[in-house]
Amino acid sequence: MPLAQTLLLTIYYVLLALVAAVMLYRGLLIVRYYMRPRGDEQPGSRFPEEPVVTVQLPIFNEQFVIERLIDAICAFDWPRDKLEIQVLDDSTDATVAVTRAKVAAMRAEGFDIKHLHRVDRSGYKAGALRAATPEARGDLLAVFDADFVPTPDFLRQTVDYFCDPTVGFVQTRWSYLNRGYGMLTQGMGMLMDGHFTLEQVTRSRGGYIFNFNGTGGIWRRQAIEAAGGWQDDTICEDTDLSYRTALAGFRGVYLRHVTSPSELPVQITALKSQQHRWAKGLTECFIKLMPSLWQSDLPLKRKIEGTFHLGANLAFPASLFMTVIGLPVMLVRVGSGTGGGMSQVVDSLVFLLVIVTQVLFYIVATRELHDDWVRRMRYLPFFPLIGVGLAVNNARGVLEAMTGLRTEFVRTPKLGVLGQDRALVKKRERTYTGGRDFWQAVVEIVLGLWYVWMAIVHAREGLVMAAIVTAMLSLGLFVMGGATVRALGIRRSAQREQLATLEVGAVSGS
């Protein structure tokens, strides 16, 4: 066999092994989940009186949801003299005026609430938290993103865990106010249930490092300071701080049975920006934290777990590149007479591993949380379609992290639409249209066409099942690419409307 063909097959099998390792780890998470205690940890003692708590609300252009968030925080069942609210506002749009007016109204009602507006947005969310924390009254710092609506008893259910001086943070499970909006939100809800049920429970109750999720939880100020404070050299500042506090001797507490209601993205483009940020940020944490993790005194099993946790997104570029070279590999096998036997067995086993672990992961998570879990299984097609569609998006994030490319912290648009009012979504989404990912959309559509060609070749070679699966997966890439093209059209339309408004205003002024 020529050297080039040998090299191609070697690369293919290395990538196949990496994907298989990540899927095996995912399968082991399911097994380990059932080995953990079934209930949440309980506080060892209670505070004799309520401590001062500072609630920090980092926001950026959240005009549709900020008033709802402030109302929810002011409704906390907590003494007013022990509750401080910091609105960390980096906004550049109408949110500033809306927030200023809301804060003034709540101050008039007797709440200790401050509007801290920055104009440079340096360090993004981490920078805002770092700037505000020295001014906070409380030693306990609760953090909520703008799309959250915490319940009045949130502090009552979480604060007493800090009687244990080793607890650095408490994280609650996210629930979703708009899960019933459509197929996208139902699928995303199932995806997030997998993380918050299997991953967080398995790691936290097994004594492993698990990550604060950026919102819906509380930090101990001393833990933040011991770890070196909020840092902005990654765009997953929450995961970064979680690992640094663990290395500094603190631990996290995860409460599966305490929920923080929130809002899911209702646009595919919003989902893409969110998933890109998480994939890139976790990989940045992987690069940053691996030396410290492996040089620490932590047990070997915790180091291995942390490596798989932070490095899991490496599977995205691996699987994407494996897909690209999959057709040449098949043709090389056919031409060299090695396309059958063991080669097909290995490919089939890995493919089966991917399918089984993915399906089981979300079935188990859904069954654990929802009584009507059988009915919810109709949303499982979300994963092969959207999951494959996100491959380009997330692989891009991983590659940006690996090459050290610094990009803007792109926040996920929150529209404040909790029902199924699609007209309101259509109206509000014009505020947040970006369209900066045109070339990514091109790649997604081209790769979708490549999948179609692969399906044709598979069918020609008699691999009917492979042809059907490959053709179906191409739909996810077309959906992702098409969503960005649509966003570009909305953006251009909004720009034309703004220009027309300015022209009318200029004529009227003259």
What whole-number distance in Å separates Cα of residue 84 and Cα of residue 71? 14
Q: Which amino acid is at 320?
A: L
Cβ atoms of 260 and 175 closer than 8 Å: yes
Backbone angles phi, psi at 374, to 5 degrees: -65, -45
Question: 339: phi > 0 → left, psi -120 to 50 → alpha, else beta; which?
Answer: alpha
When pLDDT is averaged across residues 156-183 and rounded to a whole number, the result is 96
Instruction: Give the pLDDT confidence of 36-72 residue by residue, as tens digits.
Output: 888 999 999 999 999 999 999 999 999 999 999 999 9
Beta strand extents in 130-272 (DSSP E only): 140-143, 167-176, 217-220, 251-262
When pLDDT is averaged across residues 191-197 and rounded to a whole number, the result is 94
Q: What is the pLDDT of residue 432?
A: 65
CA-wise closest residue to 122 among 69, 54, 60? 60
What whole-number distance in Å separates Cα of residue 184 and Cα of residue 420? 12
Tokens of 103: 């804060």
CA-only gyration radius of the chain, Å: 24
Res. 508 pLDDT band, cuts 50 70 90 = low
Is residue 79 over pLDDT 90? yes
Torsion of the alpha carbons at 266, 267, 268 and 270, rounded to the nearest 10 = -100
Tokens of 181: 């909006």
Q: What is the pLDDT of residue 199?
A: 96
Catalytic annotation, pick one of 40, 238, 240, 437: 238
Correct CATH for 52-264 of 3.40.50.720, 3.90.550.10, 3.30.70.100, 3.20.20.110? 3.90.550.10
Residue 49 contacts by C-beta under 8 Å, 6 or more apart in sequence?
Answer: none
Instruction: Give the pLDDT confidence of 448-496 residue by residue, as tens digits.
Output: 999 899 889 888 877 777 788 788 778 888 888 887 787 777 666 655 6
Instruction: List, in sequence order, every residue forming a beta bridge with 217; answer none if it has no partner.
Output: 143, 171
Residue percentage of the chain with pLDDT more than 90: 62
Average pLDDT, the chain: 89
When pLDDT is averaged across residues 185-202 and rounded to a whole number, the result is 93
When pLDDT is averaged across residues 127-156 and rounded to a whole number, the result is 97
Reduced 3-state DSSP string for 328-346: HHHHHHHHHCCCCCHHHHH
CA-wise closest residue to 431 among 497, 505, 502? 497
Q: What is the pLDDT of residue 54?
A: 98
Q: Which residue has the higher pLDDT, 388 or 178?
A: 178
What whole-number distance in Å separates Cα of residue 355 and Cα of residue 413? 31
Residue-wise DSSP of 129-184: HHHHGGG-S-SEEEE--TT----TTHHHHHGGGGGSTTEEEEEEEEEETTGGG-HH
Catalytic annotation, pick one of 89, 90, 147, 437: 90
Instruction: Give the pLDDT confidence of 331-367 residue by residue, as tens digits.
Output: 887 776 665 567 777 877 888 888 899 889 999 999 9
Q: What is the pLDDT of residue 500?
A: 55
What whole-number distance in Å separates Cα of residue 271 and Cα of residue 390? 9
Spacing of C-alpha 286 from chain mean position: 16
Q: What is the pLDDT of residue 476?
A: 82
Q: What is the pLDDT of residue 157?
A: 98
Tokens of 388: 């494959």
Q: What is the pLDDT of residue 342?
A: 73
Backbone angles phi, psi at 58, to 5 degrees: -75, 125
Is residue 183 over pLDDT 90? no
When pLDDT is averaged across residues 298-325 and rounded to a whole number, the result is 93
Neighbouring CB atoms inside 10 A of 479's CB total: 17
Q: What is the pLDDT of residue 326?
A: 82
Q: Which amino acid is at 389?
A: G
Task: Based on the residue annotation, tell me whether 90 is a catalytic residue of this protein.
Answer: yes
Whether pTM > 0.95 for this model: the answer is no
Tokens of 239: 């995961």
Q: What is the pLDDT of residue 227?
A: 98
